[in-house]
C-alpha cells in the first residue's frame, strides 16, 4: 500500500515537470518572448504542432537554435527569416502576405463575399416563397 | 438555373478536395533549390581526427545524403546508394544526422559503405542549414556549390534516372 502511494506520488509529480527540455532563461521576459516566438513556428516533423509543443528531435534542435539566436541579440524577424530561408514560409503559422500566399489570405474572404452575394440574390429573387404565409393582414382582426 | 449555382459550387468544392487528396503534405518544397548550399566543417565518422569540409567537393557536382542509423527508410534506401556508388559518377557524401558514432559505424560495417566521405552532424546544426526535416534526404550540389535538386525520402533507381542523371548530363557529367 505504502509503495503504491509513493509510486502514485511520483507519477503525479512527473506530470508537473516541464514536458519539454528546459532552456536556461535569464528571466521571465526572455522566456515569454521565446514561447511567443516558438508558438508561431511550425514543427516540420509533426506538422500540426508548433515547435514549442513538439517533442520531435528536430523541434528540440530548432528551439535551441532559436534560443541561441535570441541570446545573440537577433530580433524576432531575423530569427523568422533565418528559418524561412531554410524551411520556407511553411514554418510560419502566419505566413507573409505575398504573391504565392495570396490565395491563402484572400481566398476565404472571397468565398465569404461570394456566399453573401449568392444568398442575397436568392433572397431577392421572386419575392416570398409561395409556401410561406404572407404578411399578416391586421385589418382582418378589426 | 435554380440548381446551377449549388451544382457549380459542389463541383468546385469537389475539384478542390480532389486536388488535395493526392497531395503529400509531408513534402515541403525547399526554398533552397537553386540557392548556394551551406558550407560545413565536420568530423569524419570513419577516421578519427579527420575533417570533412564542404569545400573539398567544390568545382564538381556531388551528392549529399542525410542519414542516420536510427532511420528505417535509410536502410531501405541503402542498396540504391551502394549501387549508385559503384558507378563512381560523382562523390557521394553522407551527413550522419543526430546519430551515435559507434552505432553508425556498425551500421556501415553491416550494410556496406557507399560513401566517399561521412560528416558527423551530431548536433544537427548543418542539417538545419540545409533545411533538413527528416531522413533520408539527398541534395544534388553542382560545381558552383548551388543546390540543384533535393530528394525528400529514400532515393530510388527511378529518381536517380529521372531527376539526377539528366541534371548531371546537363552539367557535363556522363
Nearest to A44 among B5, B28, B98 (CB): B28
pLDDT over 90 (residue B173): no
B92 CA: distance to closest CA in chain A (Å): 22
A68 CA: distance to closest CA in chain B (Å): 12
Tell me what pLDDT residue B9 has: 86
Backbone conformation region of residue B67, classed left if phi is above 0, alpha if psi is from -120 to 50, else beta: beta
Whether the CB-CB separation of B50 and B44 falls below 8 Å is answered with yes
C-alpha to C-alpha distance for A88 and A99, rounded to whole angstroms: 14
Q: What is the largest CA-CA distance in chain B?
A: 78
pLDDT over 70 (residue A137): no
pLDDT over 60 (residue B78): yes
Nearest to B32 among A65, A86, A90 (CB): A86
Q: What are residue B152's phi and psi, to 5 degrees?
A: -95, 120
B156 CA: distance to closest CA in chain A (Å): 22
Tell me what pLDDT residue A11 has: 64
Whether the CB-CB separation of A95 and A89 falls below 8 Å is answered with yes
Q: Quick one: B166 exposed, middle or buried, by C-beta within 10 A (0-12, 13-18, 19+)?
A: exposed
3-state secondary structure of A110: helix
Specify the CATH class of A14-95 in words: mainly alpha
Give the pLDDT band (50/70/90) at residue A136.
low
CB contact under 8 A, B131 and A57: no
Tell whether ipTM is more than 0.85: no
pLDDT in tens, A69-110: 999 999 999 999 999 999 998 899 888 888 888 888 899 999
Residue with cell 569540409: B53
> Which range, of A36-40, B23-27, B80-84, B147-151, averages the lowest pLDDT?
B23-27
Tell which B residues from 52 to 71 touch A, by Cβ distance under 8 Å: none
Tell me what pLDDT residue B137 has: 96
pLDDT over 80 (residue A9): no
Which chain A residue's Cα is nearest to B123? A61
Tell me what pLDDT residue A121 has: 86
pLDDT over 70 (residue B40): yes
Residues of B in contact with A89 (CB under 8 A): 31
Average pLDDT estimate for B112-117: 97
Nearest to B131 among A57, A87, A89 (CB): A87
Whether the CB-CB separation of B63 and B141 falls below 8 Å is answered with yes
3-state secondary structure of B28: coil
Instruction: Tell me what percent of the residues of chain B surpass a pLDDT of 70.
Output: 99
How is residue A107 written as a grid cell?
481566398
Domain boundaries, chain B: 26-170
Q: Determine the CATH number of domain B26-170.
A: 3.40.30.10
Residues of A in contact with B132 (CB under 8 A): 58
B44 CB-near residues (< 8 Å, 6+ apart): B50, B51, B52, B117, B118, B119, B120
What is the distance, to the nearest Å, from the Cα of residue B112 to the centroid of all Cα atoms in its chain? 19
How is residue A32 written as a grid cell?
515569454
What is the reported pTM? Answer: 0.79
CB contact under 8 A, A88 and B28: yes
CB contact under 8 A, A57 and B32: no
Give the pLDDT band (50/70/90) at residue A20.
low
Give the pLDDT band (50/70/90) at residue A113.
very high
Tell me what pLDDT residue B168 has: 94
How is residue B105 written as a grid cell?
559505424
pLDDT in tens, B43-55: 999 999 999 999 9
Tell me what pLDDT residue A139 has: 60
Tell me what pLDDT residue B32 has: 93
Nearest to A87 among B5, B123, B133 (CB): B133
Residues of B in contact with A44 (CB under 8 A): 28, 133-134
Domain boundaries, chain A: 14-95, 96-126
C-alpha to C-alpha distance for B31 and B29, rounded to whole angstroms: 6
Q: Which of A29, A18, A27, A23 is nearest to A67 (CA)?
A: A23
Amino acid at each position: 500500500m505504502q509503495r503504491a502511494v509513493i509510486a502514485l506520488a511520483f507519477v503525479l509529480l512527473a506530470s508537473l515537470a516541464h514536458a519539454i527540455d528546459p532552456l536556461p532563461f535569464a528571466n521571465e521576459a526572455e522566456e515569454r518572448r521565446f514561447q511567443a516566438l516558438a508558438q508561431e513556428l511550425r514543427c516540420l516533423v509533426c506538422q500540426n504542432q508548433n515547435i514549442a509543443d513538439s517533442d520531435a528531435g528536430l523541434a528540440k534542435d530548432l528551439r535551441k537554435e532559436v534560443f541561441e539566436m535570441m541570446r545573440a541579440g537577433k530580433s524576432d524577424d531575423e530569427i523568422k527569416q533565418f528559418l524561412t530561408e531554410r524551411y520556407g514560409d511553411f514554418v510560419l503559422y502566419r505566413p507573409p502576405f505575398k504573391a504565392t500566399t495570396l490565395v491563402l489570405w484572400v481566398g476565404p474572404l472571397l468565398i465569404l463575399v461570394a456566399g453573401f452575394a449568392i444568398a442575397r440574390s436568392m433572397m431577392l429573387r421572386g419575392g416570398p416563397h409561395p409556401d410561406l404565409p404572407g404578411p399578416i393582414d391586421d385589418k382582418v382582426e378589426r | 438555373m435554380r440548381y446551377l449555382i449549388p451544382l457549380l459550387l459542389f463541383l468546385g468544392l469537389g475539384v478542390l478536395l480532389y486536388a488535395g487528396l493526392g497531395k503529400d503534405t509531408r513534402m515541403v518544397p525547399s526554398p533552397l533549390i537553386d540557392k548556394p548550399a551551406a558550407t560545413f566543417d565536420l568530423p569524419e565518422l570513419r577516421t578519427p581526427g579527420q575533417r570533412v569540409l564542404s569545400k573539398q567537393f567544390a568545382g564538381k557536382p556531388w551528392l549529399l545524403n542525410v542519414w542516420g542509423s536510427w532511420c528505417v527508410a535509410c536502410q531501405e534506401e541503402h542498396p540504391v546508394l551502394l549501387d549508385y556508388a559503384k558507378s563512381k559518377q560523382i562523390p557521394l557524401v553522407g551527413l550522419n544526422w543526430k546519430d551515435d558514432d559507434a552505432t553508425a559505424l556498425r551500421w556501415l560495417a553491416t550494410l556496406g559503405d557507399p560513401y566517399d566521405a561521412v560528416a558527423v552532424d551530431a548536433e544537427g546544426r548543418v542539417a538545419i542549414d540545409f533545411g533538413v526535416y527528416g531522413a533520408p534526404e539527398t541534395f544534388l550540389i553542382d560545381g558552383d556549390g548551388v543546390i540543384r535538386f533535393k530528394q525528400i525520402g529514400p532515393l530510388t533507381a527511378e529518381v536517380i534516372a529521372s531527376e539526377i542523371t539528366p541534371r548531371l548530363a546537363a552539367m557535363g557529367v556522363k
